[in-house]
Amino acid sequence: MQNKSAISGCFLVGPTAVGKSAVAHCIALQDHCNILSADSMLIYKGMDVGTAKPSRAEMAAVRYYGIDIVPPDVSYSVWAFKTYAYDVLEKIHSRGERAIIVGGTGLYIKALMHGLTPGPGVDPGLRAKWNNVLNTQGIGPLQEFLLKKDPELYKSLSDNKNPRRLIRAIERVEAVGTGVKNGLTEEWMSPENGPVLVGLKCSPEELNLRIESRVRAMYCQGLVEEVRMLMEQGKQLSVTARQAIGYAEASDLLNGHCSKEEAIARTIIRTRQYAKRQKTWFSRQTNVKWIDVDAGMNTAEIADLVKEYWRKYEPVPIKK
């Protein structure tokens, strides 16, 4: 039996398109590390170009985890990720090896750092029912229902105008009854006192340029063909997989609903907005030491800096 508290990892975080993956790969090669991706879209098989998945050559050179773990018609969740990731890290640890955890999905990262409060899983019937209520009658009935059923929980919601959260809260109440708190419990650490993550960042102008050229590159690398293939497989993308930026836009293009330039423009905008949210999340929810990669540093130089920071701060403990 492993000593669970001993499991830890080196984190590399940051907004999309700053170059996290390349740096992580570089370090993994140098130091023979495993890479665990903490990215909610890299988990889907067959969604490669649009998610900027590591290449086959890269995946042959370094042991990657968290990639291609479910087919794209299956829905996924933080809980599933946390469970999977903990197993992976335990395995790596038992081999006496190190893991680099790279990713932009803040919630996944946080789930590894803080654990997740156990709770009921997704109840598709319940979600369908309440989504239907939402679509026909608006958000009012959801708020009223929860307020009546569990006023404490309703008040504890940081955002009671968010249908997604309301439905999740209702789902919880229906499954385990009242009195269950939403959000973090005992083990919560404030971001300032929490463990240090290393992050890559750059100026908004530079990031916008990188995003734009990245999206254009995806179109050159065959994003549209990839989406066509996914469509031709007959199975629909799962609720979670179809949220991937770029895929809805490319399928609009395939269906003749927009031009290629429109699809590209829309994809760039959505990616930019996503990067902004990531920036907000990491700076507010976690304690990040940022490395500014603006000034034309190459991957190896950035890798050295990242490793220096990892040495300087303690590795981040992983919570079960």
Residues that bind RNA (CB under 7 A): 16, 39-42, 50-52, 75-80, 104-108, 111, 114-122, 127, 131, 158-159, 161-165, 167-168, 172, 182-185, 187-188, 204, 239-240, 243-246, 269-274, 276-281, 283-285
Least distance (Å) from RNA to the CB of residue 118? 4
Closer of 118 and 234 to RNA (Cβ): 118
Contact, 226 vs 44, CB < 8 A?
Answer: no
Closer of 103 and 305 to RNA (Cβ): 103
Closer of 182 and 305 to RNA (Cβ): 182
Closer of 34 and 51 to RNA (Cβ): 51
Do β-strands 8-13 and 316-317 pair in parallel, antiparallel, or remain unpaired?
antiparallel
HEC states along the chain?
CCCHHHCEEEEEECCCCCCHHHHHHHHHHHHCCEEEECCCCCCECCCCCCCCCCCHHHHHHCCEECCCCECCCCCCCHHHHHHHHHHHHHHHHHCCCCEEEEECCHHHHHHHHHCCCCCCCCCHHHHHHHHHHHHHHCCHHHHHHHHHHCHHHHHHCCCCCCHHHHHHHHHHHHHHCCCCCCCCCCCCCCCCCCCEEEEEECCHHHHHHHHHHHHHHHHHCCHHHHHHHHHHCCCCCCCCHHHCCCHHHHHHHHCCCCCHHHHHHHHHHHHHHHHHHHHHHHHHHCEEEEEECCCCCCHHHHHHHHHHHHHHCCCEECCC
Helix (H) or strand (E) holding 261: helix 260-285
Least distance (Å) from RNA to the CB of residue 115? 7
Least distance (Å) from RNA to the CB of residue 291? 19
Characterise 247 by phi-psi region: left (phi > 0), alpha (psi -120 to 50), beta (else). alpha
Closer of 18 and 167 to RNA (Cβ): 167
Least distance (Å) from RNA to the CB of residue 262? 11
Closer of 239 and 258 to RNA (Cβ): 239
Least distance (Å) from RNA to the CB of residue 193? 15
Least distance (Å) from RNA to the CB of residue 201? 12
Closer of 140 and 311 to RNA (Cβ): 140
Closer of 283 and 299 to RNA (Cβ): 283
Least distance (Å) from RNA to the CB of residue 272? 5
Least distance (Å) from RNA to the CB of residue 274? 4
Using alpha carbons, select from 189, 171, 200 the residue that is nearest to residue 289: 200
